[in-house]
Structure 1
Amino acid sequence: MADGPRILLLHRNQPAQFEFFGRWLARRGWQVTYIHAGAASDSTDALGIRTLRFPVAAMERPETDFRYALDYAAATAMGAAVLFEHLRNHEGYRPDVVMAHAGWGIGLGVRQIWPQTRYIAYHEWYYTDLDWTTGRIERPSTPPVAMTNRMRNLPISAEFDSADANWCPTQFQANRFPPPLRQQISVLADGVDCRFHHPDPTAKMDFDWLSLPDRPKLLTYATRGLEPLRGFPQFMMALARLQKQRQDFHTVVLAQDSVSYGPRLPEGESWGKRALAALDLDRSRLHLESMKPRSDYLRTLQASSAHIYFTEPFVTSWSLSEALASGCLVIGSRTGPVMELVEDMQTGILVDMDDPEEVSDMIGWVFDHPEEAQAIRRRARQQMLDLYDSEAVFRRKEALLRQMISRVADTTGPYQPVL
């Protein structure tokens, strides 16, 4: 068992963003504990990392008929669950630093449990339709949406009066916050493991679930769900056009046919089913597959000739950084979050994802210009090594954590929770 500093990582669904950083810290001697409300049961792994689950469903949730307060009530229940679960089962445990995924309420009780512990709020999103830079509304809104967003932001704003630091993974996401809060946020990338995610020019699709031994031109798309927020319907329209123009490529889609973000479709419907029903697609060259083990996923990225990453202005998927690090030629949407990582014709290609002609034309350009595409791939990989490699990112974060811990006042004597 490690005897180094103690860090507690709080997340609503499994370790998620904190998993790789936590494992890296554990290998460097930190005592790492994950607490979450997901499905995984309590455990301790070979690195000594403890994973604990708190049963939010067992908590008495606040009830309200006021629909705008539902998210606020859920965040309150989440924070209370963490607080009471600690007092019930883990009294006496005291971390040196806690990091919590902000917005769900999971970290709201940290100061009540450990007033002397350093606390970091990890921020992903602030719900607003206002562009704080221009002062303009991004899209038409309605009073119900505006009020719902206001209530969703209250638990997020509440983090700032208790956190010692506020971290956010991208500049685009940090800029969603109003200026007084934005000034308190440090932009620190999540990082990508560039040793694991690396190019391999010999890679090909040779799996039990799909074998393409002749190594045709390969178009790839990989994300959690097939949904409009990630541009899946638009991608399918461009693909239908491109399939009619040329026969020399295959397309592999790795995703669940479900919606992770945004409204759900009626029971029995999905965006994958809708695309197949509405578009004239050559199914012999289109391979819709579920999410695969990480080794298969990496090999697919390495074998890719052109990789699509589309998103509305929102949090970017880890898959974008992983694709760039793996040597993919990324064709991305010309939207804020993608433009932070992809410079047009330098580290990738930017397109209007709502224009199927432009999208299909640029995919075809990549297929037909392998030397130019290879130069773009190399620059993208180098950018990941220079700015986003997890080894360097994690070292910087660890240094910041140790600085925070070193400033903790002397707290000798028995620990008493403040309640």
Structure 2
Amino acid sequence: MRFLFVHQNFPGQYLHIVSYLTKRQHDVAFLSEPNTNFMANVRKISYVSPRASDVRIHEHAREFEVAVRRAEAAANAARQIKALGFQPDIIIGHHGWGELLNLQDVFPGVPILGYFEFFYSLVGQDVHFDPEFPLDQKRLPMVRSKNAVNLLALNMTETFGQTPTSWQLSTYPAWAHPRIHLLPEGVDLATCSPAAPRASRRLTLPDGFRIEPRHKLVTYMARNLEPYRGFHIMLRALPALLAARPDLHVTIVGDDKPGYGALPEDGSTWKETFLKEMEGKFDRERVHFLGQVPYETHIALLRRSDAHVYFTYPFVASWSLREAMAIGCAIIGSDTQPVREFITHEETGLLAPFLEPGRLADSILRLIEEPKLAQKLRVGARAYAEAHLDREAYLDAYATLIETLTGQSLAPEREPESRPAKRRLKT
């Protein structure tokens, strides 16, 4: 079969399904904005990155304007590969960036499987969740406008959707649910596996500090250190936590960059803001800010962790939660909808109220001081991952969905003895 994948940052979340397909001798082309990433046996076609318009655009329409320009650029690139003879059997991509919107005009009748990640709302989700950071009433229309691409995508012909969690599906209007397939994403259970029983509990951190067997280690990870992922709650839990356990160290992994929410009004970063608030309130020598770390370090930290914290607003759950469960971490998660889909209290982890730092500190201390409970939760988390987060099962389900939408089999075909040379696509 011939596949056209589309994502502005190749390969995006499609790395594993693309590898799955190319190993089975399927023909894969990938439309993306230019970058240096490479995958064997994948033809990457770059389209020109959209530029902001010279015309003054209303601030609530800026994201949509960029999405429309990206859709135009992607369609122009698609016309070029069509002229070279490439006709996909299916198009797969992320609806959030706008790239898929015009491809139905280029390849009419070709099924499009689009990733529906999140449908924004003013009620019951991330907006207004944290009373400490109320949204200016003047910005409410901007939230509604963020669904423009979502709504256009749901109105496209020959379009089908996928989303990874029941929570994310629930954010979409009920009338859209029949169009969106629930396709839970998985992790590599071999790579994300628990530490060996006799593994050393010594670990040298990227900052040079050495965690010894006598130390208790609490881990916290986020792509960016921001309120959406409970960074402020984590920092405010530290004074009580560190005072109760002189043997305890904390590692905090994450970039000090803009993330999902707004930046502080004074132009600083959230890390700077909250460290200033907490200045002098906890022992900085025992809190290790590591920035972003290599994946191997990420795994090593989770394997050594005595208690792992994962907090989030009612928003999209991070990959790190899935990986922590597969590794068998003793997890304290926020008692919010996306986390409750993975964590059952006292079975696969502990749940703590998002807005209460004291309850978070108590939950961490409980895991450290009740080793039998911690071990029970480790076993439960790994068992959940094996039952629900196996990447191989995810890829097989993905393949079944593709076969259903195209009416074709993904079974690898025998390579013919002689095959005409393919026309080279411009990249």
TM-score range, shorter chain: 0.7 to 0.9
Structure 1 counterpart of 2:174, one-letter code: P
Written as runs of structure 1 = structure 2, the 5 A alignment for 1:363-378 is 363-378=364-379
Select 1:176's aligned residue among 152, 171, 179: 171
Counterparts of 1:205-216 in structure 2, within 5 Å, are 205-206=203-204, 209-215=207-213, 216=215
User: Which AA in structure 1 matches 2:334?
Assistant: S
Shift of 1:183: 2.9
Q: Distance in 1 between matches of 2:46 and 2:348?
A: 41
Match of residue 8 from structure 2: 12
Q: 2:142 aligns with which of 148, 166, 172?
A: 148
**Larger RCO (alpha carbons 8 Å, 6+ apart):** 2
Change (3 A) 1:349 1:130: same
- In structure 1, what residue type is equivalent to 2:249? H
| CA 1:141–1:361: 2 relative to 1, 3 Å | closer
Q: 1:265 to 1:153 in 2, by over 3 A?
A: same
Q: 2:63 maps to what in 1?
A: 71
Residue of 194, 215, 240 corresponding to 1:199: 194
The structure 1 residue matched to 2:109, chosen from 109, 113, 116, is: 116
Q: Deviations over 1:153-209 (max 9, x none)?
A: 121111123243211111111111111112322111121111111100425423554
Equivalent in the alignment of 2:420: none
2:277 maps to which residue? Answer: 278
2:43 pairs with one of 41, 50, 59: 50
**Shift in Å at residue 267 of structure 1?**
7.2
CA displacement 1:109-134 (0-9 Å, x = unmatched) = 111111132211110011112359xx
Q: Percent same amino acid among aligned pairs?
A: 27
Q: Which residue of 2 aligns with 1:82?
A: 74
Contact 2:92 2:114 (C-alpha < 8 Å) held by counterparts: yes
Query: Post-superposition shift, 1:399?
Result: 1.5
Cα distance per residue 1:247-303 (max 9 Å; x no partner): 111111111112211112367622222333222221221110021111111111111
The answer to which of 265-274 and 328-337 deviates more is 265-274
- Asked if the contact 2:110–2:158 (Cα under 8 Å) also holds between the matched residues in 1, the reply is no
Indicate conservation of the 8 Å contact 2:50/2:73, yes or no: no
Q: Please report the TM-score for the alignment, with normalisation by the length of structure 1.
A: 0.88
Task: Give 1:104's aligned residue.
Answer: 97
**TM-score (norm. length: structure 2):** 0.86
Match of 1:186 among 151, 156, 181: 181
| 1:21 aligned residue (2, 17, 24) | 17
| Residue 384 (structure 1) aligns with | 385
* Residue identity in the other structure for 1:224: R
Instruction: Specify which of 76, 83, 86 is matched with residue 93 of structure 1.
Output: 86
- Residue of structure 2 in register with 1:230 after alignment: 229
Retained in 1: the 8 A contact 2:114–2:160? yes
Partner Cα separation in structure 2 for residue 52 and residue 65 of structure 1: 29
Q: Please list every run of 5 or more consecutive structure 1 residues that lacks an aligned counterpart in the other structure.
A: 409-419
**Amino acid paired to 2:63:** D
In the alignment, what sits opposite 1:403? 404
Amino acid at match of 1:241: A
- Contact 2:46–2:77, Cα closer than 8 Å, also in 1: no
SS of residue matched to 1:366: helix
- Identify which range, 260-269 or 370-379, moves more after superposition: 260-269
In the alignment, the residues of structure 2 paired with residue 144 and residue 213 of structure 1 have an alpha-carbon distance, to the nearest angstrom, of 48
In 2, Cα distance between the equivalents of 1:194 and 1:294?
15
Instruction: Give the superposition deviation at 1:93.
Output: 1.9
SS in 2 for 1:354: coil
CA 1:250/1:147 → structure 2, altered by over 3 Å: closer, same or farther? same
Deviation at 1:403, TM superposition (A): 2.5
Amino acid of the structure 1 residue aligned with 2:77: E
RMSD between superposed Cα atoms in Å: 2.4
Contact 2:225 2:254 in 1 (8 A): yes
Secondary structure at 2:361 match in 1? helix
